[in-house]
Amino acid sequence: MAYKACVEGAAETAPVVATAPSGEAVVRLEQVRKSFGANLVLDGIDLSVDPGEVLVVIGPSGSGKSTLLRCVNLLEPIDEGRIFVTIAARRVGKVPKSEAVARAHELLERVGLDGKARSYPHQLSGGQQQRVAIARALMMRPHVMLFDEVTSALDPELVGEVLVVMRDLAKDGMTMLVVTHEMQFARDVGDRLIFMDDGKIVEQGQPNDVLDRPKAERTRRFLRRTLQLADSLEELTIEEGGVE
Ligand SMILES: Nc1ncnc2c1ncn2[C@@H]1O[C@H](COP(=O)(O)OP(=O)(O)OP(=O)(O)O)[C@@H](O)[C@H]1O
Ligand SMILES: [Mg+2]
């Protein structure tokens, strides 16, 4: 049985938990606004993620991507609007140890790390630690998984092993909301891509459409910069307002 948690901005009361019909969006945001002091960070975000959909979010630093995920995760209260998230009805009670251990091994196997079941975190590489973190999240049988730049701190040769795990999760039907700079991942795995700037969704669509034929000038500028940076630093110049 799935329930839907609903948070409303500026609500005087605690988040409401209500039953929800199945088959609709796993995550839905309606006109969400969020400020930190005078800094308006989410400026009227409307968004929904369907069951099994992989939604990729890109955008410049400070555009509100992490805040968006934290709001969806119900970690940040919002000022205005509403967020609906499907949550699992959990059996509260003791899971037999043998069952928990078997499931843990199954999930470690799934991220290619059953051989490390007896290792401590400091004995694992960054990529292996990220894969364990994914296995740990799966233990809760989530309806949706949120990823915030999970590969950005990794050495380049470790990025692939984490992205492969995420790709396989997506193939298995997991609903995912992924903030990333990995454009190839966005193309290959994303069902839809959103470009955010300044707390707003500037444009969205099929990843290849947005990345190859961006409509908004702001998106074009961001992508040009990102692709140039990936290519070479040679042609970049520092101009007022940043690197162009
Ligand atoms: N807890 C907080 N308190 C105050 N301001 C915050 C807080 N969290 C984020 N901000 C501000 O909100 C804005 C958006 O931050 P956010 O972390 O969502 O950006 P981002 O798109 O994830 O950036 P990056 O790509 O660098 O991770 C920034 O101006 C940031 O300084
Ligand atoms: Mg961030």
Q: Using one digit for the tens of pLDDT, what is the confidence trace for 18-69?
A: 445 445 899 999 999 999 999 999 999 999 999 999 999 999 999 999 999 9
Of 16 and 7, more confident = 7
* C-alpha 208 to ligand 2 mean position (Å): 23
- Identify the residue whose C-alpha is closest to ligand 1 atom 4: 36
- The reply to whether ligand 1 has any atom less than 6 angstroms from the CB of 206 is no
Q: Give the pLDDT score at 196.
A: 98
- Identify the residue whose C-alpha is closest to ligand 1 atom 3: 36
* C-alpha 53 to ligand 2 mean position (Å): 21
* C-alpha 61 to ligand 2 mean position (Å): 7
pTM of the prediction?
0.88
- The reply to whether ligand 1 has any atom less than 6 angstroms from the CB of 180 is no
Q: Give the pLDDT score at 231.
A: 59
- The reply to whether ligand 1 has any atom less than 6 angstroms from the CB of 41 is yes
Tell me, letter by letter, the H, E, C secondary structure of the chain. CEEEEEEECCCCCCCEEEECCCCCCCEEEEEEEEEECCEEEEEEEEEEECCCCEEEEECCCCCCHHHHHHHHCCCCCCCEEEEEEEEECCCCCCCCHHHHHHHHHHHHHHCCCHHHCCCCHHHCCHHHHHHHHHHHHHHCCCCEEEEECCCCCCCHHHHHHHHHHHHHHHHCCCEEEEECCCHHHHHHHCCEEEEEECCEEEEEECHHHHHHCCCCHHHHHHHHHHHHHHHCCCCCCEECCEEC
Reply yes or no on whether the pLDDT at 243 is more than 60. no
Q: Give the pLDDT score at 14.
A: 43
Each residue's pLDDT tens digit, 112-166: 999 999 999 999 999 999 999 999 999 988 999 999 999 999 998 899 999 999 9
Reply yes or no on whether the pLDDT at 12 is more than 60. no
* C-alpha 74 to ligand 2 mean position (Å): 16
* C-alpha 1 to ligand 2 mean position (Å): 32
Q: Comparing 6-10, 127-131, 206-210, which segment has the lowest mean pLDDT? A: 6-10
Q: Give the pLDDT score at 13.
A: 43
Rounded to the nearest integer, the mean pLDDT of the chain is: 88
- The reply to whether ligand 1 has any atom less than 6 angstroms from the CB of 98 is no
Q: Give the pLDDT score at 3.
A: 62
Nearest atom within ligand 1 for CA of residue 70: 18
